[in-house]
A = this chain, B = another copy of it.
Amino acid sequence: MAQQHLDPTDPTAGAVTGDALAGYLRAQATEFLRALRLHRETGGQAAGAAEPVDAARALRRSARRISASLHTFRPLLDPDWSEEMRPELAWLSGTLGLEHACEARLERLLLALHRLSGATVLPAQAVDVAVAAGSRATGAARAATAAVPSTGGPAHATATTERGTLTVGAAKAGALLERQLTLARTRAHSTALQALGSSRFHAVADKVAVLASEVPLTPAASATALHPLAAAAEERLTDAVAALPLVTAGHPYNAEALVHGLSPDPAPHPQDSPWHQVRLLLRLHRYAREVLHGGDAPVDVRLLTAGQALNRHRDASEAAAAAAQAARTPRITPATAYALGVLHADQRHEVEAARFAFQQAWLKQTVPAP
């Protein structure tokens, strides 16, 4: 590809036009169709191998990129088509992502419970086994038994063994979270399966199939430079970052993230929203760079690190909320509630740590390394 060595900050990068966007969208649409084919070939099996998970991830990966490009380069694309396509792609990647999110959240919380229990040897292998077993069990077989977790299955057996090193409170908290998040995951799995079989999904897939060969650019798009639109996406990111409390975040142990740890407000921490927003804008910026570089963008370690910090921020924020939510389950023991309180606070400190990590990563551009 001719554009692969272009730098978005290079003034000649203005030469990248709507044609590059069309090439990128065709490539992503092709990826989407490949993932879909893989999913159909393997996903029908009960208790299938890891492929359906990877296929679902690849589907989401390209759906996100198509959706982001439609957003950033909106003026270059047929507006009716764009308006119709974006919410469908958002629905799809949201629906497909939920199962994995529940699984990752449970894994994060169980690992934290182990860490907090001071297990001298962190049972990394045991957790690996549990996670692998869990991944393998995300198919239909798992869905069939998950509603009755006490009947066992490999994931359950492993978790029980692990829990031998925990206090009663930590063990009960772990069991409660496992029950609640496994149920949520099972529901998410069913919803994803239903979604993939729905006419709504088939309509999206058909549109993506068309996109793989024919991108609905506006008449002027071929001659229109992408750079200003990509720059606007970057500006939205830098503006949003500038509004973050980065000075506080850069001061270790500022105790900001737990400020609402016992707030009477049951809603998720409003202080997290601007960070979640930056996470999305950072992703849009990264994908716009990919478009400019013809899908061959050099890896920007700083953006990658900053993005990982924001992913960790989001994950910890949601894990903390799940612990707080579990603590509202009726008839739990005080020991369980205590363990969930410790766990909640621990994850809120992870939120704070992730903000610190983002601040450190972000400053690496502004202040050149010595």
User: Which residues of A approach B to under 8 Å, CB–CB?
Assistant: 113, 115-118, 166-167, 169-170, 252-253, 255, 258-265, 327, 332-346, 349-350, 352-353, 356
Contacts and interface: CB of A to CB of B under 8 A. Distances in A.
Given A167-B263, A264-B167, A345 B349 contact: yes
Given A116-B258, A116-B263, 15 more contacts: A115-B255, A117-B262, A117-B263, A118-B259, A118-B262, A167-B263, A252-B252, A253-B253, A253-B350, A258-B342, A258-B346, A332-B334, A337-B337, A345-B346, A345-B349
Nearest to A113: B262
Contacts of A169: 262
Nearest to A169: B262
A255 B113 CA distance: 13
B262 A166 contact: yes
A23 B167 CA distance: 56
A262 B116 contact: yes
A342 B327 CA distance: 11
Question: Which of A263, A333, A334, A339 counts the most chain B CB atoms within 10 A?
Answer: A334
Contacts of A352: 253
Nearest to A341: B341
Contacts of A117: 260, 262-264
Contacts of A264: 117, 166-167
Contacts of A252: 252-253, 353, 356
Contacts of A338: 327, 337-338, 340-341, 344
A352 B253 CA distance: 8
A255 B342 contact: no
A264 B332 CA distance: 19
B327 A115 contact: no
A337 to B, nearest CB: 4
A342 B345 contact: yes
Question: Which of A333, A340, A344, A349 counts the most chain B CB atoms within 10 A?
Answer: A349
A334 B345 contact: no
A153 to B, nearest CB: 26
Contacts of A345: 341-342, 344-346, 349
Contacts of A342: 258, 261-262, 341-342, 344-345
A233 B180 CA distance: 57
A313 to B, nearest CB: 12
A336 B339 contact: no
Nearest to A263: B118
Contacts of A332: 334
B341 A116 contact: no
Nearest to A115: B259
* 3 closest residue pairs by CB, A with B: A341-B341, A345-B345, A252-B252
A253 B344 CA distance: 16
A168 to B, nearest CB: 8
Contacts of A166: 262, 264
Nearest to A334: B337
Contacts of A344: 338, 341-342, 345
Nearest to A333: B334
